[in-house]
Structure 1
Amino acid sequence: MTPERNAPSITKTTAKSGAQRVAVMDLGTNTFHLLITEGTVDNLNILIHEHVGVKLGEGGINKGYIHADAYKRGIDTMVAFQNEIERYNAAEVRAIATSALRNASNGQDFVNEVQQLTGIQIETINGDREAELIYQGIKAAGCLNNGLSLIMDIGGGSVEFILGDYKQIVWKQSFEIGAARLMDKFHKIDPIPNKAIYELNRYLENNLDDLFSAVDGKQIDTLIGSSGSYETFAELTEMNKGHAFDLNTIKNYSFNTQELVNITDWLVSSSHQERKTHDGIDAIRVDMIVVASLITRFVMDKLDIKQVAMSTYSLKEGVLAEMLNPGL
């Protein structure tokens, strides 16, 4: 199985002469991202944004190792990324690894092999640091205000929750309940059965006590979903209304709550084939979007959240913010 690449996931623009170029890689459990930019965080000139469905957690996510096929897909993708970095002459390069690599017994072997083959030094960060970088990305997108928001980043291996406003983080925590992990546990039949949905919700109820304690007594203005599945939710919403929608031109998006409920209802009840053949669903999200929908709906219902937004910025833009604003 080769890594999944989709033409819409690659964005290229013309470079500006003399501008400093930087490259950021977000090496997630499901997707590897490469972002090469120049300019400032507020005025980025994106030279290339590529995401590849490596599915690093496939076959081993809940067993604590990276399966041989997934390992090879990851290595091949990193070699391809290095070729792009060299082609664009990026002056500074950072590669950030999250849940799959930090928890896998052969994660360090992967990190070492990448360095040997490409010279790229991967930084494997913990969940707390991951949440902090996600917050910086959301902040750079202009999603935060004076009110308290709950940021949710649904990855393949982990889910990060961050409470904060535009000034500061109030609370943050990473939970090892990512979409790949939950899909492996609960989404074994498609469409997902009602019994599996019940068991998944019960699992979330039993594993998110720290989140419930953190928000207790607090007024949450908005739930902000960080890129990924939330981009798919937004694209499907606009397609249903017959609107053209280009994620490359926006930083954030506000949902109509009922429209979001309708979209997630459809995704949960859909078959694999229905999702696979839908123009609004990226190939790398066809499987995990069901569990991501269920996590989102659980949090909305449990915390009685009525206002939901999406940020196209996430961890990689948080890393960019640090690179381009060293005093951050």
Structure 2
Amino acid sequence: MVNVLQNGREPLVSPVMVPPERDRIFAAIDIGTNSIHMVVAHIQPSLPGFTIIDREKTTVRLGDRDKHTGNLKKDAMERALVALKRCQEIARTLNAEQTVAVATSAVREAPNGRDFLQQVAEKLGLHVDLISGPEEARRIYLGVLSGMDFNNQPHIVIDIGGGSTELILGDGHEPQCLTSTKVGAVRLTSELVTTDPISTNEFQYMQAYVRGMLERSVEEIRSHLQPGILPRLVGTSGTVEALATLHAREKLGIVPTPLQGYPISLKDLREVINRLRKLSCAERLALPGMSDRRADIIVAGAVILQEAMTLLGLESLTLCERALREGVVVDWMLAHGLIESRLRFQSSVRQGSVLNIARKYQVNLEHAKRVADFALSLFDQTQKQLHHWGDEERELLWVAAILHNCGHHISHSSHHKHSYYLIRNSELLGYNETEIETIANLARYHRKSCPRKKHENYRNLSSKHHRKVVDQLSGLLRLAVALDRRQIGAIQRVWCQYNPEIPELHLCLQPSLPQDDCALELWSLDYKRQAFESTFAMALRVTLETNAGAVSDHLARNWPS
């Protein structure tokens, strides 16, 4: 193994493993107030982690209940049965060994909700768990943790559903506060909106009503916060995704894929709401990307988000694409011993996702981890000499090193370009759009031509900062790849010595076997010398030292203190 000698840091390592088991296919269904959602997950206990391999969503509007009795309407129940049958067929096609379904607000509150679930059991043979508001919040929290790293910092999660809104406080460990309020986009629209476009009086009443409904949950969340610490806000589910899509189209001209990590400010949200509320439902439906299942309820959902942010005193929100369905998957994994603990699962979200993608594209992980260790060793030893990047850029380099060869899954020819495409379009959990683009570009430039403005992928980088990250760290990644050219671990260690007077970087290599001349590794380093020297404007010198004692003596004499 390559050791990082500088800065007292270890290389990033793979997540905590549980005893390996066979891979599993599992389906999770969320019977919500507005829609029925299903995800089918490929669970890999050896990581541990999972990948969503299929999604299904049908708007059935169970929440549009009879105004006099509160019962679920017959036509809505029939639509739900059809949707659930289709979900079962898809799950069977994908060889799901088990399907778990949960029902939330609409079914929970309807007098005939349990009768409906009995129909589902009798006609489809599907048992549905009717979960409480706090239990719904708990599983939402698990789902969010499977897609975002909280770094032990307090986060508030808001999930705006059709019939209820969940507010959750946590820092990646056990949730500190789980709340559920009977205010949702479908419920509000059904109960409070009679005009189209919504009148000023109805809009103002809706705002006041939502504030009153959310006050207790917000106060409960605040009571668990430490003084002086401002949490971050994470938004999930359909309303937030729809608002993010509208916002991105207006501000960026395109909708990022994925939307994971997309930010929305309270100021921008208010501007969006002011425009939406002046439009009729038909005019909202005509907006690019607006679906017919969202156009009539988007104003109500947006008001809930706006009032929650105002009450919490938070000026921005970050979107997470995972929520209840994914939380059902995580909960099932916990129940079946496929995850040792929530904390360990959370701490491995990013690394587990990277290794999951590496396995998917049949990356040689032994080679990839050696390259990653070399890359981090070079990064640490040249920090504040050749570059001034920090922990965030260090992690992006690690990911790129692990995945740099994934393009071989498509073809050996131009595999660096295929690596870019696969990384760019894979589900890298816990990373935002810019980070994924940076990782993909780093992998793209581990060989062949250096970054150039005429390359479309390089132009996709949103800032000079990230282009410079790619310029410099791709140079280090090239050297790291060369150090394991035969993919057999021929080089045991590498030491860097920087001489600013020449200027020159000297790499001193220790082979794993004293008799190995490492000719191919030395040739590969020489081949990649020009790209490195051009990027950093200095000479690169490489020597091989088979005598470990001589290396130690040399370093003691010459290494800068």
| TM interval, short-chain normalised | 0.7 to 0.9
Larger radius of gyration: 2
Comparing 197-206 with 105-114, greater Cα deviation is found at 197-206
CA contact (8 A) 1:79 1:117 kept: no
> How far 1:259 moved relative to its partner?
3.0
Q: Which residues of 2 match residues 84-95 of structure 1 at below 5 A?
A: 84-95=90-101
Q: Which residues of 2 match residues 131-280 of structure 1 at below 5 A?
A: 131-142=137-148, 144-216=150-222, 218=225, 219-245=229-255, 247=257, 249-280=258-289
| Percent of pairs with identical residues | 28
- Residue 107 (structure 1) aligned to one of 101, 113, 127: 113
Q: Aligned partner of 2:115: which letter?
A: D
Which residue matches 1:76? 82
CA contact (8 A) 2:64 2:187 kept: no
The unaligned stretches of length 5 or more in structure 1 are: 1-17
Q: Deviations over 1:278-316 (max 9, x none)?
A: 222222211111101111111222222112111110001
Which residue matches 1:26? 30
Distance 1:61 1:101 in 2: 15
> How far 1:61 moved relative to its partner?
6.7
TM-score scaled by length of structure 1: 0.87
> Residues 231, 147 of structure 1: CA spacing in aligned structure 2 closer, same or farther, 3 A cutoff?
same
Comparing 79-88 with 289-298, greater Cα deviation is found at 79-88
Distance 2:305 2:134 in 1: 21
CA contact (8 A) 2:168 2:221 kept: no
> Residues 272, 89 of structure 1: CA spacing in aligned structure 2 closer, same or farther, 3 A cutoff?
same
Q: Deviations over 1:203-228 (max 9, x none)?
A: 22332332232244644422211121
Which residue matches 1:302? 311
Which residue matches 1:35? 39
CA contact (8 A) 2:26 2:43 kept: no
RMSD: 2.2
CA contact (8 A) 1:100 1:157 kept: yes
Which residue matches 2:388? none
Q: Aligned partner of 1:324: which letter?
A: M
CA contact (8 A) 2:159 2:166 kept: yes
> How far 1:63 moved relative to its partner?
4.1
Distance 1:185 1:112 in 2: 28
> How far 1:86 moved relative to its partner?
1.6
**Partner of 1:228: helix, strand, or coil?**
helix
- Residue 291 (structure 2) aligned to one of 269, 282, 286: 282
Q: Aligned partner of 2:267: which letter?
A: Q
CA contact (8 A) 1:29 1:98 kept: yes
Residues paired across the two proteins, number: 310
Higher percent of residues as strand = 1
Which residue matches 2:544? none
Q: Aligned partner of 1:273: which letter?
A: A
Tell which has more relative contact order, 1 or 2 (C-alpha 8 A, sep 6+). 1
CA contact (8 A) 2:26 2:42 kept: yes
Distance 2:285 2:60 in 1: 17
Distance 2:221 2:330 in 1: 27
The unaligned stretches of length 5 or more in structure 2 are: 1-21, 343-561
Q: Aligned partner of 1:200: which letter?
A: M
Q: Deviations over 1:101-153 (max 9, x none)?
A: 11111111211111122211100001110010011111111153333222111
- Residue 117 (structure 1) aligned to one of 115, 123, 143: 123
CA contact (8 A) 1:42 1:140 kept: no
TM-score scaled by length of structure 2: 0.52
Distance 2:68 2:182 in 1: 10
Q: Which residues of 2 match residues 36-51 of structure 1 at below 5 A?
A: 36-40=40-44, 44-51=50-57
CA contact (8 A) 2:43 2:50 kept: yes
Distance 1:269 1:44 in 2: 43
CA contact (8 A) 1:143 1:252 kept: no
CA contact (8 A) 2:215 2:311 kept: no
Distance 1:147 1:176 in 2: 28
> Residues 35, 246 of structure 1: CA spacing in aligned structure 2 closer, same or farther, 3 A cutoff?
farther
Distance 1:125 1:313 in 2: 18
Distance 2:252 2:222 in 1: 40
CA contact (8 A) 1:62 1:184 kept: no
Comparing 288-297 with 302-311, greater Cα deviation is found at 302-311
**Partner of 1:34: helix, strand, or coil?**
strand
CA contact (8 A) 1:61 1:157 kept: no
> How far 1:185 moved relative to its partner?
1.9
CA contact (8 A) 1:62 1:181 kept: no
